[in-house]
């Protein structure tokens, strides 16, 4: 029986993936349209990876430049400035708010995101959803580490946890941790004995209740 539900944030709770795609494009617009487009496309194909890792990748692979940790932090802060106010205003993913409100007493709900921890907590407070979650977990800790932490802290068995995500990195974290995974969205290309599919969080209760 499922006891804990771990939810990704961008694209599962909030409809914010496009906001971050545009922000990355703007962040690298000074390097020209080609680079800006490559950056946006890479982000879109690699959801669930921290902005720090992406910025390092963009500089080394696309710009062919070395970048220091301090420079990465400066660009990451600029990225935060570009997205924060927009993200606290975006819509919920269809069914997400209802799912959270209806189920926070039925399951222990957790957030697992690549968004920096403090920023993620601040967004949740601004959206007035922080009190629904037992834990709110962001970067630099990885999603697999989030799962390990939640399992240990709440003394859970693997079959008592389910991860709900919309990206390959969400899927990989769940698969590598050997827990159940629900893929939100229309893509059904992942193969895993503990995977389930749903377009959104509407009527997800029945699907979760049937998972043994």
Residue 100 and residue 161 in one domain: yes
Residue 103 and residue 191 in one domain: yes
- How many independent structural domains does the chain possess? 2
pLDDT of residue 201: 85
Residue 157 and residue 82 in one domain: no
Q: What is the mean pLDDT of the chain?
A: 93
E strands within the chain? 4-7, 108-116, 135-139, 161-165, 180-184, 195-198
Last residue of a domain, one of 87, 116, 144: 87
For the segment 58-103, what is each residue's pLDDT rounded down to a tens digit?
A: 999 999 999 999 999 999 999 999 999 999 999 999 999 999 999 9
**What value, to the nearest 5°, has the Cα angle with vertex 174 and ends 38 and 198?**
80
Residue 127 and residue 72 in one domain: no
Residue 73 and residue 174 in one domain: no
Residue 65 and residue 99 in one domain: no
For residue 186, the domain's CATH number is: 3.40.50.1000
Range of the domain at 41: 17-87
pLDDT of residue 150: 98
């Amino acid at each position: 029986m499922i006891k804990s539900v771990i939810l990704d944030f961008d694209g599962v709770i909030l409809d914010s993936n496009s906001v971050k795609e545009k922000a990355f494009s703007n962040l690298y617009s000074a390097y020209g349209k080609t680079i800006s487009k490559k950056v946006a496309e890479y982000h879109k194909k690699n959801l669930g990876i921290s902005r720090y890792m992406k910025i390092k990748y963009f500089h080394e692979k696309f710009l062919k430049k070395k970048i220091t940790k301090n420079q990465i932090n400066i660009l990451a802060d600029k990225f935060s400035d570009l997205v924060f106010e927009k993200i606290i205003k975006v819509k919920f993913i269809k069914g997400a708010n209802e799912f959270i409100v209806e189920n926070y007493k039925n399951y222990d709900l957790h957030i697992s995101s690549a968004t920096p921890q403090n920023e993620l907590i601040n967004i949740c407070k601004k959206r007035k959803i922080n009190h629904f979650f037992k834990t709110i977990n962001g970067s630099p800790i990885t999603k697999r580490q989030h799962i390990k932490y939640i399992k240990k802290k709440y003394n859970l068995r693997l079959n008592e946890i389910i991860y709900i995500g919309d990206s390959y990195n969400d899927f990989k974290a769940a698969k590598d941790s050997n827990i159940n995974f629900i893929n939100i969205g229309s893509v059904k290309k992942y193969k895993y004995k503990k995977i389930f599919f749903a377009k959104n969080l509407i009527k997800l209760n029945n699907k979760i209740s049937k998972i043994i």
